[in-house]
Amino acid sequence: MTTRDIVIFGTGQIAELADFYFTHDSDYSVAAFTVDREFITEDAYLGRPIVPFEEVAQKNPPGQFGMFIAVSYNRLNAVRASKFLEAVSMGYELVSYVSRKATTFPDLVHGANCFILEDNTIQPFVRVGDDVTLWSGNHIGHHSVIGDHCFLASHIVVSGGVEIGESCFIGVNVTIRDHVKVGPKCIVGAGALLLADAEEGGVYSPPPTERSRVPSSRIRTI
């Protein structure tokens, strides 16, 4: 890439976090933000101009600026994936952020527009696709593969040799046994334990913890 200046798509909390991480823990400089014109309500965000997405290629042209799509897992990552593909079609290089406080190895292969936060432990021979978010504190086991447009929340254990298909959402505190295959577009809810393959489009959620019939005032020791 010939420049380290980037434009962030988004003006929500994910964009605010992306700006913070890129500013304080990368070699990139955030020059502007962009969103679709219909969602613009002010001229600037975090002290930088907001450019209509319909005009961004003219005002911040590809080749001079990179781009990062800072969008959450809405509609099972489809919104982020759509903007990712639009930006690529416009000629932008989609940059990635990998925290310097993540544990990685030189052989890590990851795609464009990845957001890999602090305290992720990513073992050797892992492959991460395009447009993947790994929130803080995950363990990604050796020889695992994470497909494009996935969002993994925090404190997930992905054991060795796991395959996660594209456009999946994996919630906090999920554990996936070694060599399990998670099909595309799965939702795995917080605290789930996957011991066998998950079928495409499946929703896997454990029962929530229920309140005890005994109130806390009657508990003598904890």
Q: How many residues does the chain have?
A: 222
CB-side exposure of 190: number of CA atoms within 13 Å?
5
Interatomic CA distance for residues 56 and 33, integer angstroms: 9
Domains and CATH numbers, the chain: 5-89 (3.40.50.20), 96-202 (2.160.10.10)
In the 8-state DSSP scheme, what is residue 83? H
Taking a C-beta distance cutoff of 8 angstroms, is the pair 109, 95 a contact?
Answer: no
SS3 74: coil
- What residue type is assigned to position 196 of the chain? A
Per-residue pLDDT of the chain (222 residues; tens, 9 = 90+): 445 999 999 999 999 999 999 999 999 999 999 999 999 999 999 999 999 999 999 999 999 999 999 999 999 999 999 999 999 999 999 999 999 999 999 999 999 999 999 999 999 999 999 999 999 999 999 999 999 999 999 999 999 999 999 999 999 999 999 999 999 999 999 999 999 999 999 999 999 999 999 999 999 887
Alpha helices (runs of H) in 13-150, residue ranges in sequence order:
13-24, 56-59, 78-89
Give which of 169, 129, 176, 131 is closest to 153, Cα–Cα.
Answer: 169
pTM of the full structure = 0.95
pLDDT at 160: 98
pLDDT at 220: 85
